[in-house]
Amino acid sequence: MEHELLRIRDEALAALDACHDDDGLEALRLRFLGRKGELTGVLRGIGELQPEQRRKIGEIANQVKTLVEERMTALRTQWQAEQRARSLAAERIDITIPGNHRPCGSLHPLHQVLDDTIAIFTAMGFEVVRGPDIEDDYHNFAALNIPADHPAREMQDTFFVGPEVVLRTHTSPVQIRTMESRQPPLQIIVPGSVYRVDDDVTHSPMFMQLEGLMVGSDICFAHLKGVLTSFVHAMYGPNTPVRLRPSYFPFTEPSAELDIGCVICGGRKTGCAVCKGSGWMEILGSGMVHPNVFRAVGYDPEKVSGFAFGLGIDRIAMLRYGIDDIRLLYESDLRFLRQF
Ligand SMILES: [Zn+2]
């Protein structure tokens, strides 16, 4: 019997050594340890032995059983560890691989500057008003004191859509439309696109303008200077020098262009290439509303006064970001736009 047990032990261990999967392991368990297994079969005959023999054989049988069970448990543990290592290797994530890039858009530099400009003027009490891009001759020219023989009407400056119909050459017709429909006091800004037959590094056939108009019973030139100086200081910094220079526009009298100290060279006396050596850069046109404009909309120029100004958003943006070619703003080149 002892030999039989040792034979079972050796066979079981040899079989386990050759076993490589759970099914095989279960089959071996049944074959040796199961209710009808070989070891169980030997133990059944143990009752017929003498007590001393019985104890000895029982002891050996238990040792064999424990040994085989331990070997089986060890195999299972080993396989589980190997399986786990395999799946970890298979599911390994390389966190150094770049992720999926989701491109994110942003506001066009013109719109950033437009938003900032609108925010500065609305903070001073101006209201945003808009008007049509296609205008009639009267609102674009005649009502703004631009008579029929004025050079601004020349074919090479204006896009004519039809007889007496144009693409607006400035945002000023919205002044007329607003004053025709409302009574003073008025304090409006008019952002929008305007169109001129012009195309070079500083001119684009379509560009963005912002018009301002303030009308009341006692508006004077000091208000104009105060509002525009506040705008420049908010846009370019509180220490930016400002100067008004006499100019001419048909719809204002007196008229003035507003210069700021060159943002490139800081307005030093010798200037730089951008400000052409002057130390100053022109940023907008302005003036007191011409009495003929008030008459055209039915206001009494003896009772009301006001100022108006117009600035190119493109120019404000070019000076702010140091852009030297206006066409970059309209070409939609992402290599350019991504810099903002
Ligand atoms: Zn300069």
Q: How far is the CA of 340 from the centre of ligand 1 (A)?
A: 23
For the chain, give the percent of residues with pLDDT over 70. Answer: 98
What letter does residue 203 receive in the DSSP assignment? B
pLDDT band at 167 (very low <50, low <70, confident <90, very high): very high
By C-alpha distance, which of 265, 115, 132, 269 is closest to 193? 132
Q: How far is the CA of 263 from the centre of ligand 1 (A)?
A: 7
pLDDT at 152: 67
Instruction: Inform me whether the pLDDT recorded for 128 exceeds 60.
Output: yes
Distance CA 101, CA 103 (A): 6
CATH 3.40.190.10 applies to domain 109-337: no
Mean pLDDT of 220-226: 96
Mean pLDDT of 295-305: 94
Bridge partners, residue 288, by sequence: 307
Q: Is the model more confident about 327 or about 117?
A: 117
pLDDT band at 147 (very low <50, low <70, confident <90, very high): confident
pLDDT at 155: 57
In this structure, are residues 315 and 253 in contact, taking their beta carbons and an 8 Å threshold? no
Q: How far is the CA of 268 from the centre of ligand 1 (A)?
A: 7
Q: How far is the CA of 18 from the centre of ligand 1 (A)?
A: 89
In terms of pTM, does the model score above 0.85? no
By C-alpha distance, which of 150, 151, 307 is closest to 244? 307
Q: How far is the CA of 115 from the centre of ligand 1 (A)?
A: 26
CA dihedral 188, 189, 192, 195 (to 10 degrees): 90
Q: How far is the CA of 284 from the centre of ligand 1 (A)?
A: 17
pLDDT at 120: 96
Delimit the domains of the chain by residue range.
Answer: 2-90, 109-337
Bridge partners, residue 186, by sequence: 215
Residue 246 tokens, joined? 């006499």
pLDDT band at 41 (very low <50, low <70, confident <90, very high): confident
Instruction: Inform me whether the pLDDT recorded for 156 exceeds 70.
Output: no
Q: How far is the CA of 264 from the centre of ligand 1 (A)?
A: 5
Instruction: Inform me whether the pLDDT recorded for 186 exceeds 60.
Output: yes
Burial label for 262, CB within 10 Å (0-12, 13-18, 19+), is buried
Mean pLDDT of 227-252: 93
Extended strands (E) in the chain = 127-128, 134-136, 160-162, 165-167, 186-195, 206-216, 242-249, 252-261, 280-289, 305-312
Q: How far is the CA of 285 from the centre of ligand 1 (A)?
A: 20
Q: How far is the CA of 320 from the centre of ligand 1 (A)?
A: 13
Q: Is the model more confident about 255 or about 48?
A: 255
What's the pLDDT tens digit per position in 18-27? 888 888 888 8
pLDDT at 48: 81
Q: How far is the CA of 266 from the centre of ligand 1 (A)?
A: 6
Distance CA 314, CA 320 (A): 10
Q: How far is the CA of 267 from the centre of ligand 1 (A)?
A: 6
Q: Which helix (H) or strand (E) segment is 13 a member of?
A: helix 2-18
Lowest mean pLDDT among 31-40, 55-64, 152-161, 270-279: 152-161
Q: What is the overall mean pLDDT for the chain?
A: 88
Instruction: Inform me whether the pLDDT recorded for 284 exceeds 70.
Output: yes
Q: How far is the CA of 111 from the centre of ligand 1 (A)?
A: 25
Distance CA 78, CA 232 (A): 78
Distance CA 112, CA 107 (A): 6
**CA 165 from chain center: how many Å?**
38
What's the pLDDT tens digit per position in 246-276? 999 889 999 999 999 887 777 777 877 777 8
Q: How far is the CA of 65 from the centre of ligand 1 (A)?
A: 98
Distance CA 228, CA 171 (A): 18
pLDDT at 258: 95
pLDDT at 329: 84
Q: How far is the CA of 229 from the centre of ligand 1 (A)?
A: 19
pLDDT at 164: 86
Instruction: Inform me whether the pLDDT recorded for 144 exceeds 80.
Output: yes
pLDDT at 202: 67
Lowest mean pLDDT among 128-137, 237-246, 266-275: 266-275
Instruction: Inform me whether the pLDDT recorded for 299 exceeds 90.
Output: yes
Q: How far is the CA of 281 from the centre of ligand 1 (A)?
A: 8
By C-alpha distance, which of 314, 134, 108, 319 is closest to 210? 314
